[in-house]
A and B are shown apart, each in its own frame.
Chain A
């Protein structure tokens, strides 16, 4: 899950970066680049993130520990 979220963050960051560069040098070409490269990258990032969260929720049955929580050790109170 962590790796997928990292991939999503990279995609989203690149998309925003493309849009930022386009905004700093606004021409027909950068407008098209912003729409054709920037926006899809952000959408792909969003989809990757949601898919990672969905997979994580699906793979854990209800009641199981969440990431970051320690699993209860048997034999201890």
Chain B
């Protein structure tokens, strides 16, 4: 009988017959209830697996944590202080309103500070709504989240995520927002539609894009990249690609490999 202890990426095996043995583990071997808990705790609420092993287990752990998050402590404390100040102002309205200085205190405590706090809170919230964590916090998106981890070199989402071709903390947003003048606004309005569908009208059985995926989103990054230009086929049809008459997805067909998601075929870091 041997005792297994887990320290980071190493497994210390204490075997009475063979003595103590230190063994480096691959990710698959490390998936145990204990390591699962460790992986789960390793996914900080505000960064999705940027430096952590890419395992299906890790993906599930991250998705579980993604469901509910807390904004940064400084913001929470600032809002708490704001609430306390407003409560104090409420209790001291009478004496404060009697003096000019008190009325200025009321103006700051009841108007200026709360407005500043809520604008700061909302602007942080808007930027946070671009995060992968936020997108995947709706359960309808869980499968799409898992598709970032599949073992498929043809699947665009997985390739971009696993090779860090897009920032991991804003993977969905980076690929699904338009790079036009009002691309951000459009993406946020679409996000509101998603929330409406999630809570009110219901999500359709098959989730589809609102419009065909525009080539400009791909070309925004690949346009002048060597990997793109070195391919003869890209050069041959570049004018059609820029005009949008041929879609990038007509050759690169798999955006999210849902077949492998359902088959639990995930890439394992070794």
Contact = CB atoms under 8 A, between A and B. Distances in A.
A19 B121 CA distance: 8
A1 B97 contact: yes
A42 B97 contact: no
Interface stretch (B53-61, B87-95, B164-172, B203-211): B87-95
B195 A26 contact: no
Which size bracket describes the interface of A in this complex?
35 or more
B107 A23 contact: no
Given A5-B110, A19-B79, A67-B97, 6 more contacts: A12-B114, A28-B191, A34-B122, A42-B118, A68-B95, A68-B98
Interface string A57-72: 0000000001111000
A23 B86 contact: no
Interface in B193-227: 194-195, 198-199
* Interface range, B side: 35 or more
B77 to A, nearest CB: 10
B106 interface: yes
B125 A34 contact: yes
B45 to A, nearest CB: 8
Contacts of A6: 90, 93
Interface in B141-197: 191-192, 194-195
9 contacts: A1-B97, A12-B86, A13-B90, A19-B79, A23-B121, A28-B134, A46-B115, A49-B110, A66-B100
B122 A8 contact: no
Given A28-B134, A34-B125, A46-B110, A9 B117 contact: no
- The listed residue with most A CB atoms (<10 A of its CB), out of B90, B100, B194, B195, is B90
